[in-house]
Amino acid sequence: MEQDEVVPLVGPSSADARVVGAKAANLARCDGLGVPILPGFVLTTAGVARRRRGGTPTGLRAAWRGLGGDRAVLVVRSSSTVEDAATSSMAGRFTSVLDVVGWPAFLRAVDEVVRSAEQVGGEAGPRPIAVLVQQQLDAALGGVMFGLDPVTGRRDRVAVEVVPSRPDALVGGTAEVGRLLLTRRGRLVSAEGPSASDVGPVLRHRLARLARRAARRFGGPQDMEWAVGADGRLWLLQSRPVTAVAAVPDHPEVVLGPGPVAETFPDPLSPLEQDLLLDPLRTGIVEALRLTGAVSEHRLRRSPVVVAVDGRAAVDLRLLGVVRGTVRARDRFGPAALVRHVGVAWRVGRTRVALPELGAEVVAEVDRHLSLLPDLGGLATDDLVETVGRASRELATVHRFEVLAGMLLAPRPGAPTAAQVALDELAAARRQGLDDAAVVADRPVVLALSAPCLGPGPGLPVSGPSASVAGLSVDELDVRDALRLRTRWLQELLVLAAAELGRRLVAQGVLRSQEDVALLRWTDLAAAARGAAPPEVRVPPHHPVAPLPNEFVVVGDGSVRPVGRHAADGRSTGIPAGGGRVVGAVRHWPPPPAAPSSADGDGRLQPGPTVLVVRHLEPALAPALEQVDGLVAETGSALSHLAILAREAGVPVVAGVDRALERFPEGTTVLVDGTTGEVSATTAGPA
């Protein structure tokens, strides 16, 4: 049967995604949910085929006149057969044209949308596409609604984002956004940001009811665009399945925190970075704990181990022994516990004896594999994907041995750390005038001073120490530090290989830009590299990602609730990392905006000792140790690179001080005791 070239948006033909595309078909199926849909029509895939041949589809001009002709303001949008599917939203992949007035402008808009399908087709050719045409709403309020909480995955919640304009300002990331979390019945759970107060009780209940009805109609929660006209009427603009939900535990008994991972991952991670870097870490930790038998299988299965909360890495602190949890008496003293403890002692003893030799073998094997690796740019795409897979598995293995070495082996006396060797090499390279890229290529040990990142090259400290410690070598590292350095090298390989895949997809027109690469999950990027259509999540609105508390739980509504000790008298106890005791004026890193560091009232630096207060113990801060007399960090441990370097330089260090940047403003005089872990505001000198 011959297919119609133009069909009404609401009608029998509009429910077939093969004819009108998924976007229009989903919208047509929303008719009857209790929220109106803007009047419109669809230029079907057959109509688009005629337009591609240079013709005017039958009935197109009549349908345009039916929407108001020259008097109407229209929006012309793509409706591809691969958009808005249950596993691939393809959000933002195709063009939409707003503010279309007049017949010539309308035809140009249709052609622009059709061309967008050809631009993302790649080697497989243009994607099948229809064109959705609707009257454009002059919106007083617009937004996006998820029929679940995308942070926790809870399906008894509805997440709403709102802007005081059309929703395109929100999905394009150009507007300040208000955010609300609702129950399924529309009761307000939380609200923050501009415009959140514009969503009153009546509108909240109407949105929640729409989310419930859409979930029933489509068999699952929907990602919906909506708008409110100047007359207060609510309109539904788009609906598609929710395709990307973060995996964050909502078990209050799980105490999370950046802890030991903050040194490696001080900044928020993109979805692709989370897959490349956190998944191998999680696997390595689980394998190490399982090998020792120190944690029961039941506890391992219940733990998230490593998660990303709003992009920031956090670990199960109780699982890793950073904080103590509640242990039942029968677990401590029962027969099963006794048997487990005997088994643990036996396994730990054997592992401790064999670990130095096994660790050295792992280090040698990684070095051999890296030395044989050809230039990534010269690898075939399939080989590049396989390289990422092999490097990921090898990284998990190195993480396992690194965790075991940290648990079971004492540092070798006199052995340098990777950060010390890196600082030595960096100082020598800076004296030669090498830039960062040349330094990394010539002296890869310097990667120990930077965090892995999918974006531009690793950021190295501006300068090395003023005097190099001659003769330090990676061959002198003890087992644990040698393994830590190899984890960093493998992490760099993973992000470089993924970035190369992304560059190829951008060059082929499959992805719009390198920024889009970071928004994909690894499985989607690998599939796209091998010819599949890549699902693309909506570009998230740009907003600052708040640092995580030192210890927190994720509660029922998905929010982060700090736990642990919070001193109210200006005194705090953190993790003592050694180095002695000092009283000095606080300097922040990063410095607060438009605020002088350690300054008195007229902005001059205060004389005397200085205490640097930081978010994380990042190795890149190592050169600053020459200029400070004390170091306080909100996260980290006594075993971090920076803490070790500070101790050896005689700089008192305390880690794990909750809200240190907030509680000790710049210029405050504080006492830092690296032996007891005390940090307190004071005017007295050291005892």
Joined together, the tokens standing for residue 144 give 């996006």
Is a pLDDT exceeding 70 seen at residue 51? Answer: yes
**Number of domains the chain is built from:** 5
Q: What amino acid occupies position 664? A: F
| Average pLDDT, rounded, for the chain | 79
Distance in angstroms (rounded) separating the CA atoms of residues 135 and 591: 50
Q: What is the pLDDT at residue 600?
A: 40
Residue 308 has phi, psi (to 5 degrees) of -115, 120
Are residues 398 and 270 part of one domain? yes
pLDDT, average across residues 459-487: 72
Are residues 88 and 61 part of one domain? yes
Closest alpha carbon to 132 in 200, 174, 84, 199:
84
Residue 503 has phi, psi (to 5 degrees) of -60, -40
Q: Which residues lie below 8 Å from residue 266, measured CB to CB, with a gap of 6+?
A: 451, 615, 616, 618
Is a pLDDT exceeding 60 seen at residue 572? Answer: yes
> pLDDT tens across 391-448, in order?
999 999 999 999 888 878 877 877 888 888 888 888 888 788 888 788 888 888 888 8
Joined together, the tokens standing for residue 273 give 């970075």
Are residues 402 and 284 part of one domain? yes
Q: Which helix (H) or strand (E) holds 431?
A: helix 418-431
- The percent of residues above 90 in pLDDT, for the chain, comes to 24
Higher pLDDT, 612 or 591: 612
The confidence band for 683, taking pLDDT boundaries of 50, 70 and 90, is: low
Any alpha helices (H) in 508-593, and if so which ranges? 514-519, 522-529
Are residues 143 and 129 part of one domain? no
**Quick check: 581 and 600 in contact, CB under 8 A?**
no
The confidence band for 91, taking pLDDT boundaries of 50, 70 and 90, is: very low
Are residues 161 and 124 part of one domain? no
> pLDDT tens across 296-337, in order?
777 777 788 898 888 889 988 888 876 655 443 333 333 444
> pLDDT tens across 339-387, in order?
444 455 556 667 777 888 888 999 999 999 998 888 899 999 999 999 9
How far are the Cα atoms of 168, 183, 236 from residue 161, in angstroms, in the given order? 12, 15, 14
Is a pLDDT exceeding 50 seen at residue 617? Answer: yes
Is a pLDDT exceeding 60 seen at residue 207? Answer: yes
Residue 413 lies in a domain: no
The confidence band for 208, taking pLDDT boundaries of 50, 70 and 90, is: very high
How far are the Cα atoms of 40, 64, 113, 128, 542 from residue 93, in angstroms, in the given order? 22, 25, 11, 13, 19
Residue 625 lies in a domain: yes
Are residues 369 and 262 part of one domain? yes
DSSP-derived secondary structure letter, 295: S
> pLDDT tens across 619-630, in order?
777 777 778 889
> What secondary structure does DSSP assign to 463-511, as a single string?
---SS--TT--GGG--HHHHHHHHHHHHHHHHHHHHHHHHHHHHHTTSS
> Which of 136, 169, 203 lies at the terminal end of a domain, its last residue?
136
β-strands 129-135, 74-80 pairing: antiparallel
Are residues 336 and 352 part of one domain? yes
Compute CA 612 distance to the chain's CA centroid, rounded to the nearest angstrom. 27
What is the domain-level CATH number for residue 674? 3.50.30.10
Residue 165 lies in a domain: yes
Containing structural domain, residue 511: 418-479+492-529
> pLDDT tens across 497-513, in order?
999 999 999 898 888 88
| Strand boundaries in 249-294, DSSP class E | 256-257
With tokens 């690793």, the residue in question is: 458
Residue 66 lies in a domain: yes
Using the Cα atoms of residue 415, residue 421, residue 424 and residue 428 in order, give the sign of their dihedral: positive
